[in-house]
Amino acid sequence: MNAKRSTYPDELTAKMHSEFQVSEETDQKHITWSALDAIADGDMTRSEAMEEYGVSEADLVRYRSEWKELSF
């Protein structure tokens, strides 16, 4: 089997990838939601999740209400 390489020019590929980028705040929110899921599921303690996901207590408090709306 002969693999064929993409013929997209580099700038088009970069533009295509940029469409999938999210802001730092959105990224932090999603990471925090994952930590909150782990805590809620009993997979980790609050402290373990904060360390594993690199989130702060302030992050957990800040994004909890949005996460709760989506999760329950």
Query: pLDDT digit string (tens) for 14-65?
Result: 666 666 788 899 999 999 999 999 999 999 999 999 999 999 999 999 999 9
Residue range of the domain that includes 42 = 24-71
Q: Is position 11 within any domain?
A: no
CB of 35 closer than 8 Å to CB of 55: yes
Q: Is position 31 within any domain?
A: yes
pLDDT digits (tens, 9 = 90+) for 5-19: 566 566 666 666 666
Q: Is position 42 within any domain?
A: yes
Q: Is position 9 within any domain?
A: no
Q: Is position 55 within any domain?
A: yes
Model pTM score: 0.71
HSE, CB side, 13 Å, CA atoms: give it for residue 12: 4
Q: Is position 4 within any domain?
A: no
How many residues are there in the chain? 72
